[in-house]
Amino acid sequence: MNDTREVDLSPFYVAEVQLADYVLRLREPLVLTPELDDSRQLMCVAYPSLGVDVCAFTRDDLDEALVVEFDVLWRNYAKADDGELSPASRELKRGLLARMEEVARAER
User: For 41, phi and psi rounded to 5 degrees?
Assistant: -105, -30
**How far, in Å, are 21, 22, 82, 85, 96 from residue 16 at the CA level?**
14, 10, 25, 25, 13
- How many angstroms separate the CA atoms of 62 and 88, rounded? 26
Q: How far is CA 104 from the centre of its chain?
A: 19
pTM of the entire structure?
0.87
Q: Convert the pLDDT of each residue in 54-106 to its tens digit.
A: 999 999 999 999 999 999 999 999 999 999 999 999 999 999 999 999 998 76
Q: Convert the pLDDT of each residue in 75-89 to its tens digit.
A: 999 999 999 999 999
